Amino acid sequence: MKNIALLLPTIPKGKIIMTATVINETTQYLTFGLGDEMFSVTVAQVREILDVTPITSIPGTPDFMNGVINIRGSVVPVMDLRLKFGLPEAENTLDTRIIVMELS
């Protein structure tokens, strides 16, 4: 399994977890906003949520790949979902977070 970090412009405090019930099974989601749209990922994929840390750029990568960060000795790529989805770039704010996810 691979870890990937997503740079997200806003995760409002107190609005992080949403719960949905499907046929007697409860699944939790992490919701976040990009522009005027809301997105979600299952909490099972989320490893941690970090404040923005310095990101090391990697030459020759696509625009949406911000670079890499070091998380406890592991090099984790960081991508900006706004750019990946064709939205305009946004400045980091106090609410900007990095979501570290495990992808298979």
CATH number at residue 7: 2.40.50.180
CA dihedral sign of residues 59, 62, 65, 66: positive
C-alpha angle 22/98/100, rounded to 5°?
55
Rounded to two decimals, the pTM is 0.72
Q: What's the first-to-final CA gap in the chain, in angstroms?
A: 5
Per the structure, the count of domains in the chain is: 1
Q: Provide the pLDDT for residue 67.
A: 95
Out of 6-10, 21-25, 56-60, 92-96, give the one with best mean pLDDT. Answer: 56-60
CB-facing half-sphere around the CA of 71: CA atoms within 13 A = 19
When pLDDT is averaged across residues 41-66 and rounded to a whole number, the result is 93
Beta strand 65-71 with 25-34 is unpaired
CB 31 within 8 A of CB 15: yes
Per-residue pLDDT of 34-44, as tens digits, reads 888 888 889 99
The backbone torsions φ and ψ at residue 15, rounded to the nearest 5 degrees and listed phi first, read -125, 25
Per-residue pLDDT of 3-26, as tens digits, reads 555 555 555 555 555 555 556 667
pLDDT band (50, 70, 90) for residue 72 = very high
Containing structural domain, residue 24: 2-103
